[in-house]
Amino acid sequence: MARQGTQAADFKKPGRSKSRPSLSLTKALGLIILIEGLALGLKFHDDRENIREAKQVEAHREALAIAERVTGRINTVEQTLRLGFQAGWTPQQTGRAHPDLDSVVSLTDALTATEGSRLRSAGKTASQLLAQNKLAGLSAQDDLIIVFNPSSSGPRFGLIQDPNWLPEPYGNRVFSLLSSQTDGAMLSAQGQLTACSTLGNADLAVCVQNEFPSMSRSEMLSLLVYGLLLLGPALAILGLFRMFERRRIEIETFEGEATRAGRILKTVLSQSKAGFWSWNTKTNQISISAEAAQLLDKTGAMDLSIDEFVQFAHEDQAESLKQALRTMQERGYVSQVFASKDKSTWLDMRAKPDEHSGAINGVLQDVTATKIAVARTRQAENRLRTALEGFSGPVALWDVRKRLIYWNRAFVRVFGLEPTVRAGMGYDTGMLSQATNIIDRRPSIEGDRTEIVKIRDGNWFKIVERATKSGGMITVGLDVSSDVRNEVELTKQQGRLRKLVAELERSETRTAELTRHLKLEKQRAERSANSKNAFLANMSHELRTPLNAINGFSEILVGELYGPLGDQRYKEYAQDILDSGKHLLDMITDILDMAKIEAGKMTVDLHPIDIVDPVDAAIRMIRRKAEEKDISLKLAANSNLPLVEADHRAIRQMILNLVSNAIKFTDEGGEVRVTVDQKGEELRVAVRDNGIGIPPDALPRLGEPFEQVSDSRDRNYDGTGLGLALTKSFAEMHGGRLTIASEQGRGTQVSFYLPVPAHQSQSSDSAA
């Protein structure tokens, strides 16, 4: 300030020689300020670019981490497909073995599905993935497809309609799974930061999108600070000197603290069996500390190349360790567990770059004890899972917060939880879901947490709930159907005995007669039951065996396999024999099926299917019969129908019965139309003909076994009257219903309705 005052005084004196130093000083100060401004501007620009690059690197790392997690999920599903194939499971069993899988389908079945269906689209995507040697991809309808191609049979794939593997959006971040091979990060001119990472062996990429402001608050603050620095260069220089002085003091203090911290850290590393290592970017060598060298059975610190370091690993992990070290600069980190050469020790090698120096520093730690503990835990868990899956009753395990953490297949099957069961499901939710499949409850004398329930299929289970030592709860069910039935039967017998005793007390003279009569009735009932069971057991073999011979030989005669028969009437008689044999064989099959249904031995295998597939298959099977009568057989199915829980064979048999009846009661030149559509929360399959129709008074009797419109004295059509009864029973076994509408002389429409699962109904509504 004193120098500036002197310059001002000299400038007031006359003469040009005194004004030059002041002007030169002003120019010099202006030049200094200009240079400082340019330097600060360049610094601000460089900081801004560094921030952008750091944000891009951070976003790409986040996308990479999510991609690795999704890849792990895909590999888990592929492993499930592989294990299911090796274990000989059906695609339906394999689909139920993994919670993320919606269904498992063979490629052949998918490619023969209806054009435009979700299954057909998934099949096309699976074919493209196999051709490209890719493991997973997205179909045209955004379903995740994971393919598996065993060498001994045809390819199959898993279908996941809504994979919830990506994190939930938070802040300005949005996560997405795209059918792309994009990898890297990009900042658009509109301030949109997008980072993508390609999944290893899949036609997929995980992308993270985030808003990146054109001028952040910190950048505006920095710009303001630089402006203030321009206004006060002298103050800034003074502050800089003071900052350097404080920095020197801090460095001296830090070095002292670092020395003490180094001694403490060395002690900690020695106790935890760990050591330091770092990557020298100039020499491309790995520097090993003495503690880390001791873990490798070496003495003292040393520098090694990647090939030299890999020699300390077992030959099974050597290649993967080498690949991880060679790519750590590109990935920005390394995390690898490997075994020593003799597999006596397991080491965990981790590192990440220093944000300030850029060097890669890490830790090498002995994790042998952890590795052994994890292996033992997995073995124990596998043994427990095998034991619980082999248990015939339902088993479920709940954590402290009563969330479902494990269950066996019997738990899902018994309580009908296929659409709702999932890991983390609350206990109350599970109770509400299984309540729909329980039709009766009885308290048990064993305690408050024990009850006996009756399932919709008629079986009884004793449900026991007990608390675990960890604070959770286990639910176990035992099949006590036989005990309950014996108890009911015992109660009935006791009632009958009480009545019998009362009657005996009233009339002692009838004791011997009643005893003899009761014994005869019991023997007669036992003989009747045994005769019926023996008849049903032997009917298949005793009747089908000669019928197969009759049909086979008559078919040879009709086809004149060994030469002409001579007279044309022989061939006509042989055709009559073949038609009658086939009719009798169909009738026997229907009688056996109805007997099984009445005895409760007929079951259906319910799994998600496209209902159009069995309907179309049945129509192709019976089309020839329609063509023989010159009847037009048509199929009309709506597109984008939801999947339904049904038995493929049973649906096909139902269509065969209904279409066969329609053809039978339709005159030549008529029409039979099969319609498949959705009516609210149900799928409807309707078979309509323009045949002779049914009288109104006969409609209530149809659907019962052996009931036909015509009586035995006036029958114009063949049949046993079991077709509609079987179809009605199959529909009810699926949880559906059957309706008949007819107008005599104009035709008949028979329809059956199947319920659509709740999650399928919701997805169908959203698609609409």
pTM of the model: 0.33
Confidence at residue 762, expressed as pLDDT on a 0 to 100 scale: 55
288 and 301 Cβ atoms separated by less than 8 Å: yes
pLDDT one-digit tens code per residue, 111-156: 888 888 888 888 888 888 888 888 888 888 888 888 988 877 788 8
Q: 87: buried, middle or exposed (CB in 10 Å: 19+, 13-18, 0-12)?
A: exposed
Beta-strand (E) ranges in 502-611?
607-609
Cα–Cα distance for residue pair 306/279, rounded to 1 Å: 10
Q: So what's the pLDDT on residue 490?
A: 75
The residue ranking higher by pLDDT, 114 or 235, is 114
Please report how the helices 217-231 and 233-271 are oriented relative to each other, as an axis angle in degrees rounded to 10.
130
In 3D space, the residue among 71, 99, 91 whose CA is nearest the CA of residue 160 turns out to be 99
Predicted local confidence at residue 317, as pLDDT = 78
Contact 104, 92 (CB under 8 A): yes
Percent helix, strand and coil across the chain, each rounded to 5? 50, 20, 25
3-state SS string over 358-427? CCEEEEEEECHHHHHHHHHHHHHHHHHHHHHHHCCCCEEEECCCCEEEEECHHHHHHHCCCCCCCCCCEH
CATH of range 391-479; options 1.20.950, 2.60.120, 3.30.450, 3.20.20: 3.30.450
Residue in the structure block whose two tokens are 């394999």: 94
Q: Alpha helix (H) ranges present in 601-714? A: 612-628, 648-664
626 CA to centre of own chain: 42
* 547: its two tokens: 């019928």
Q: What does the alpha-carbon distance between residue 159 and residue 122 come to, in Å, rounded to a whole number?
A: 8
Of 499-508, 528-537, 628-637, 666-675, the range with the lowest mean pLDDT is 528-537
Q: Are 666 and 687 in contact (CB under 8 A)?
A: no
pLDDT reported for residue 529: 54
Strand ranges (E), 480-565: none
Lowest mean pLDDT among 397-401, 576-580, 678-682: 576-580
Topology of domain 272-372 in CATH is Beta-Lactamase (3.30.450)
Give Cβ neighbours of residue 671 (< 8 Å, ≥ 6 apart): 631, 632, 633, 634, 689, 690
Distance of CA 165 to the CA centre of its chain: 11
CATH class entry, domain 604-767:
alpha beta
Q: Residues 592-618: pLDDT tens digits?
A: 666 666 666 667 788 899 999 999 988
Residue linked to tokens 């990009």: 186
- The DSSP result for 688-710, as a single string, is EE-SS---GGGGGGTTSTT--SS
Residue 259 to residue 535: CA distance in whole angstroms: 95
* C-alpha–C-alpha distance, residues 64 and 542, integer Å: 68
pLDDT at 11 over 50: no
Parallel, antiparallel or unpaired: strands 404-407 and 395-398: antiparallel
d(CA 399, CA 107): 39
Residues in Cβ contact with 202 at an 8 Å cutoff, skipping those fewer than 6 apart? 71, 74, 134, 135, 136, 137
The sign of the torsion formed by the CA atoms of 374, 380, 383, 386 equals negative
- 15 to 18, 22, 297, 450: CA distances (angstroms): 6, 13, 86, 114
Task: Determine the straight-line distance between the first and last CA of the chain, rounded to whole angstroms.
Answer: 81
pLDDT of residue 531: 66
Cβ atoms 588, 547 nearer than 8 A: yes
Check residues 152 and 451 and name the one with the higher pLDDT. 451
Confidence at 758, pLDDT banded by 50, 70, 90: confident
Q: Does residue 587 carry a pLDDT above 80? A: no
Residues 172, 210 contacting (CB under 8 angstroms):
yes
Secondary structure (H, E, C), 326-345 = HCHHHHCCEEEEEEECCCCC
Name which of 124, 90, 95 is nearest 107 in CA terms: 124
pLDDT at site 265: 62
> What's the pLDDT tens digit per position in 469-520?
888 888 888 888 887 777 777 777 777 777 776 776 676 666 666 677 778 8
What is the Cα–Cα distance from 585 to 743, expressed in whole angstroms?
A: 32
What tokens appear for 220 in the block?
């505006």
Residue 644 corresponds to which tokens in the numbers above? 């339904």
